[in-house]
Amino acid sequence: MTKNTKYQKENILINSGVNPKKCMRCGKCTATCPASEIMEYHPHQFINMVDKGEIEALLNSESLYYCLTCYACLERCPRSVEPVKLIEELRLQVIRKKGQNHIKIEEVKNCLDEDTPQQFLVSYLRKYIK
């Protein structure tokens, strides 16, 4: 594992809050995933690949975008491992790698109205202003 890959792995694990060591590789997450049939890598494989440091293959996979973020994988997991959180973090890594995550706060203010929840703003800024 290269130094960069190790850094990427650590960053992904910290940001997602997922501990891949908890995964038993039972496949219940994959069995319940409505998109697993079209995914190149299945939810339990995401966990295993991040654990092994195989980050680049995941970042280049279309499977990142097939995930519906329905959290069915979490509902079935006997150990509460959250593949969806890893997938979301990997999606953010792709966005950041392409340089598309930086926004100016002035641009956000122009898109708001009085009905925009504060939680949306905090979440959006936390993810995309880094």
- Average the pLDDT over 53-61 and give the result: 92
Alpha carbon distance 83, 88 (integer Å): 9
| Per-residue pLDDT tens over the stretch 4-21 | 778 889 999 999 999 999
Residues of the chain with CATH 1.10.1060.10: 3-99
Over residues 33-55, the pLDDT tens digits come to 999 999 999 999 999 999 999 99
Instruction: Please tell me the predicted confidence (pLDDT) of residue 5.
Output: 76
Per-residue pLDDT reduced to its tens digit, 70-104: 899 999 999 999 999 999 999 888 887 776 655 66
pLDDT for the residue numbered 99 = 67
Distance CA 81, CA 41 (A): 17
Query: What are the distances in angstroms from CA 42 to CA 13, 65, 74, 116, 128?
Result: 18, 12, 13, 35, 26
Within 10 angstroms of residue 63's Cβ, the number of other Cβ atoms is 21
Nearest to 91 by CA among 47, 116, 54, 60: 60
- For 101-109, the CB contacts below 8 A with 24+ separation are 101/127, 101/128, 101/129, 101/130, 102/128, 102/129, 103/128, 103/129, 105/129
CA distance 86 to 12: 7
- Percentage of the chain modeled with pLDDT above 70: 88
The answer to whether 50 and 9 are in contact (CB under 8 A) is yes
Q: How confident is the model at residue 108 (pLDDT cuts 50, 70, 90)?
A: confident
Topology, domain 3-99: Fumarate Reductase Iron-sulfur Protein; Chain B, domain 2 (1.10.1060)
